Amino acid sequence: ECLGGNGYVEDSGMPRHYREAPLLSIWEGSGNVNALDVLRALGREPDSADALFAELALARGADARLDTAVAALKDQLAETDQVGARRLVERMALALQASLLVRHAPHPVADAFCASRLGGDWGHSFGTLPAGTGLDAILERALPGRN
């Protein structure tokens, strides 16, 4: 169902025609619904934003890029409308991920994440890392004892 239902697994008649149908509207639709749900939840439960920022504050001062992202997120949250919902939710997720990594991951891992997601040097594609990223330390964390 996540790939469009039976039309993507059946090999007979009509379902085959839908294999070529673009999925973007499906993916975009559910993403927008989720982002709008976040806006509604923030409107119904204003304390939820306070809880998010309390969690983010635990990492305050650990990384300047994260501090800048959190300040921008606060500004955006004050002005968000439905058009900006997806961007807001994306930034909330990135800030929370960065906060957790800064507090709990080895420095090279957190630094690479903050540089590539918050630092503006991500090449417009997730997974693109800036020069000087501590790749050996990241690989050692992922694959301890590798040679």
pLDDT in tens, 109-144: 999 999 888 977 665 565 677 777 888 888 888 888
Per mean pLDDT, which of 46-60, 74-88, 108-122 is the most reliable? 46-60
Distance (Å, whole) CA 102 – CA 15: 47
Predicted confidence at residue 24, as pLDDT, reads: 46
Helices 47-57 and 85-104, axial angle in degrees (round to 10)? 30
Distance (Å, whole) CA 102 – CA 118: 12
pLDDT exceeds 70 at position 27: no
Ranges of each domain in the chain:
1-45
Mark out the alpha helices in 58-142 (DSSP H runs): 64-79, 85-104, 107-113, 135-142
Q: Which residue has the tokens 């500004």?
A: 75
Chain-centroid distance of CA 140 in Å reads 24
Predicted confidence at residue 14, as pLDDT, reads: 64
Region of residue 101 (left: phi > 0; alpha: psi -120 to 50; beta: else):
alpha
Q: Which amino acid is at 75?
A: D
Predicted confidence at residue 144, as pLDDT, reads: 87
